[in-house]
Amino acid sequence: MKLAWPLAAFGILLGAGAATVYVLVSSNSDERDATAPVLLTEDATRVAAWMDSRLLTAAVPSAELQLDASESPDATVELQGLREQRDHLYQVLLTRLAVDPKAVESIANIIEVSPYAGTGNPEATQHPITPEQCEARRLHVLLSSDDESLCGAPNMVAVFDPKSEDVPHSRLCIDQYEFPNIPCEYPLVWVRSSEAAQICKALGKRLCDAHEWEGACAGAILPVKSEYWFNLSREESTKGHNDKRVRTWLGSPSPLLDVCGTMSAKNPDCWDVTWEQCGSNTYPTGSFPGCVSPFGAYDMLGNVAEHMNLPLRLEQLASRGGLGETEMKGSWFAYDGLVPHPDDCRWRAPAWHETPVSSPASHRNYHLGFRCCKDVF
């Protein structure tokens, strides 16, 4: 499906049609101007060529998106304000993560079908801090490095069972940040689990299985056979898991509400989950440098809740190529200064909003996003 984007501003920003691309980057060096343009030579030609092709396909700059019939209840929602959010997302995927243009186009084709996916309703959202304030928080703090050489992608870290494995022998990586997996960018929200799974796939990744996400948060991946009861119902399996779990908050035996992004407030009129009334009052990812798991993943407590895969049968493990039902973690359990439910890394919720992960009607809301996992071979 080819979509026409109104990308004129985006194309100008990236120097579309030219064979060189400039971006502004920050530097910690006192000897270098933090706003000095840096020439990107390695991928400049392919990025510019990709931008040229996108602009050429935008025959009608103001073309309306053709929504799928399943989206008809949302057809009256206008995209005003989301255009800038989405174009910025595609830009940073290209320039900051060096994602292949074809993958960015695939991601765009997923996002553009949605009437909501972005960083929140611009008319209702009130972010607690700006990306610049996030960068300032991180400037003089020792940050966790990534395992790009192992994972084959930047801003990913290895996760494993420290009792039997180490980084070089890890078979799994997880994004350090909520998608788009770039520090100090606002996370993508109002995204369904089916869309999240497709976006991860476009990046050569996948949704995390519940026990993988929990292990990345807690500091140890536990064996599948000890994490699920495939012969029981979801309710019974969840209860068995919760009864035997060891409570930990990013490796701490105590909650970390004062360390992680759990204090963002809902809009006063946000009683029902609606686009008009509920702003996505999220922090830029990585705004809390101390809110980091033992493996180096940020914001696994607080900020947005995150989609993941809950297998009800062995063949539904995402690590085996399957998909089960929806599960959510993160700020779903600690938001607006409240902790209405347990929020430790390994707690699993009752089956709220549950659908198959692949369902086109899976749940989405104003503070629900995701991060991806990747198998290492």
Q: Which of 80, 115, 150 delimits the end of a domain?
A: 115
Residue 5 token pair: 């984007």
At 262 the pLDDT is 85
> Do 103 and 144 reside in the same domain of the chain?
no
User: Which pLDDT band holds residue 142 (cuts at 50, 70, 90)?
Assistant: very high
> Do 320 and 340 reside in the same domain of the chain?
yes
Report the percent of the chain where pLDDT is more than 70: 77
Q: What are the pLDDT digits (tens) for 246-255?
A: 999 999 998 8
Q: Enter the DSSP assignment of 190.
A: S
135 vs 13, higher pLDDT: 135
> Do 132 and 105 reside in the same domain of the chain?
no
User: Which pLDDT band holds residue 20 (cuts at 50, 70, 90)?
Assistant: very low
Continuous H helices in 230-285: 234-244
> Do 190 and 338 reside in the same domain of the chain?
yes
Flag whether 121 is in a domain: no
Cβ contact 326:355 at 8 Å: yes
Contacts for 290 with CB less than 8 Å, ≥ 6 apart: 256, 259, 260
Flag whether 36 is in a domain: yes
> Do 337 and 362 reside in the same domain of the chain?
yes
Backbone φ and ψ of 328, nearest 5°: -130, 145
**What's the rounded Cα separation, in Å, for the pair 345 and 218?**
6
Flag whether 20 is in a domain: yes
Q: What's the residue count for the chain?
A: 377
- Dump the DSSP string for 305-350: EEEEEE-SSGGG-GGGT---EEEEEEGGGSBTTB-SS--STT----
> Do 286 and 231 reside in the same domain of the chain?
yes
Backbone φ and ψ of 19, nearest 5°: -95, 5
Contacts for 128 with CB less than 8 Å, ≥ 6 apart: 263, 264, 281, 283
> Do 293 and 260 reside in the same domain of the chain?
yes
Distances (CA, A) of 240 to 111, 236, 316, 338, 348: 37, 6, 19, 26, 10
Flag whether 122 is in a domain: no
Q: What are the pLDDT digits (tens) for 153-175?
A: 999 999 999 999 999 999 999 99
CATH code for position 202 = 3.90.1580
Give the mean pLDDT of 77-82: 63
Q: What are the pLDDT digits (tens) for 320-368?
A: 999 999 999 876 555 666 677 788 999 998 888 999 999 999 999 999 9
The parent domain of residue 314 ranges over 127-375
Classify the C-alpha dihedral 65-69-70-76 as positive or negative.
positive
Domain total for the chain?
2
Average model confidence (pLDDT) across the chain: 82
> Do 206 and 327 reside in the same domain of the chain?
yes
Give the mean pLDDT of 307-318: 97
pLDDT at 40 over 50: no
Report the percent of the chain where pLDDT is more than 90: 68
For β-strands 21-24 and 305-310, DSSP reports them as unpaired
> Do 192 and 269 reside in the same domain of the chain?
yes
Flag whether 156 is in a domain: yes
Q: Which of 115, 137, 160 delimits the end of a domain?
A: 115
Its pTM stands at 0.81
Flag whether 120 is in a domain: no
> Do 286 and 147 reside in the same domain of the chain?
yes
**Helix H or strand E encompassing 197:** helix 193-202
> Do 323 and 176 reside in the same domain of the chain?
yes
Of 313, 303, 275, nearest to 368 by C-alpha is: 303
Which segments within the chain are labelled E, that is strand?
21-24, 37-40, 156-159, 172-175, 206-207, 305-310, 325-330, 368-370, 372-375
**What's the rounded Cα separation, in Å, for the pair 207 and 172?**
12
Q: Which of 63, 80, 115 delimits the end of a domain?
A: 115
pLDDT at 46 over 70: no
Q: Enter the DSSP assignment of 287.
A: -
> Do 135 and 249 reside in the same domain of the chain?
yes
